[in-house]
């Protein structure tokens, strides 16, 4: 197990509503995989460190306004600018645990009323995950956890729409964890899914429709 040079890393994506525990659990999974001898990295989208990411960050914190289509395409561009690094990391054997990906892109933008097929289009050609884990929490429960910051989208009514869109996007290959369970339970289930539920194709299919 672990660290074999001849096998590529896995692309694992965590999705879910705000306050479902994605960030904590992504970090824990990476720590656990490293402990088991895997090469693993924690990634997140939006990646706010790039110039596109800075525009996104300023939009999210309400410091700037952008047309809904424009910001949608920036989120997508933020994934595209990371695609080649992502591919080379995976090919060199590093597993990437990614906190949000294309599914957030579609679920959030279509919650504003944008056409869902239009929202999916710019994601075509990005790397398809080997495993998508959805941390499932009712929006009301997530809101009770508090800590909704002041960022755009962090409002109950909007999160309800996003939750509905995730259900629309959810494919049978997604693994679902009840995010109301204890942190330890979620952590354990996630690790198990990494080993049991992972379907790792040898080659990436560049033209995969990922959403």
* Residue 38 or 108 having the CB closest to ligand 2DT: 108
CB 126 within 8 A of CB 80: yes
With tokens 């198990």, the residue in question is 192
CB 147, min distance to ligand 2DT, A: 11
Residues that bind ligand 2DT (CB under 6 A): 45-46, 60, 75, 100, 104-105, 108, 153
CB 53, min distance to ligand 2DT, A: 10
SS3 percent helix, strand, coil of the chain, rounded to 5, is: 45, 10, 40
* Residue 75 or 134 having the CB closest to ligand 2DT: 75
Neighbours of 207 (CB within 10 A): 8
CB 112, min distance to ligand 2DT, A: 9
Label residue 25 exposed, middle or buried (CB < 10 Å: 0-12, 13-18, 19+): buried
Give the whole-angstrom CA distance, residue 74 versus residue 77: 5
CB 206, min distance to ligand 2DT, A: 20
Q: Strands of the chain (E only): list them.
A: 11-16, 40-44, 95-99, 131-136, 175-178
* Residue 8 or 79 having the CB closest to ligand 2DT: 79
What residues does 16 pair with on adjacent strands?
A: 135
* Residue 75 or 174 having the CB closest to ligand 2DT: 75
CB 6, min distance to ligand 2DT, A: 32
* Residue 8 or 72 having the CB closest to ligand 2DT: 72
């Amino acid at each position: 197990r672990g660290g074999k040079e001849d096998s590529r890393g896995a692309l694992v994506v965590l999705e879910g509503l705000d306050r479902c525990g994605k960030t904590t659990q992504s970090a824990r999974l990476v720590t656990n995989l490293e402990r088991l001898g895997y090469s693993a990295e924690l990634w997140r989208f939006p990646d706010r460190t790039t110039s596109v990411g800075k525009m996104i960050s300023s939009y999210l914190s309400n410091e700037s306004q952008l047309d809904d289509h424009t910001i949608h395409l920036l989120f997508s561009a933020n994934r595209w600018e990371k695609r080649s690094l992502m591919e080379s990391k995976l090919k060199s054997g590093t597993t990437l645990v990614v906190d949000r990906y294309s599914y957030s892109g579609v679920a959030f933008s279509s919650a504003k009323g944008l056409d869902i097929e239009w929202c999916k289009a710019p994601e075509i050609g990005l790397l398809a995950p080997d495993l998508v884990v959805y941390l499932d929490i009712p929006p009301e429960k997530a809101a009770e956890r508090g800590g909704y910051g002041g960022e755009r989208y962090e409002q109950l009514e909007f999160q309800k729409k996003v939750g509905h869109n995730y259900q629309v996007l959810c494919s049978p290959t997604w693994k679902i964890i009840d995010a109301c369970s204890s942190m330890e339970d979620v952590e354990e289930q996630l690790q198990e899914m990494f080993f049991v539920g992972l379907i790792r194709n040898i080659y990436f299919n560049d033209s995969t429709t990922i959403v």
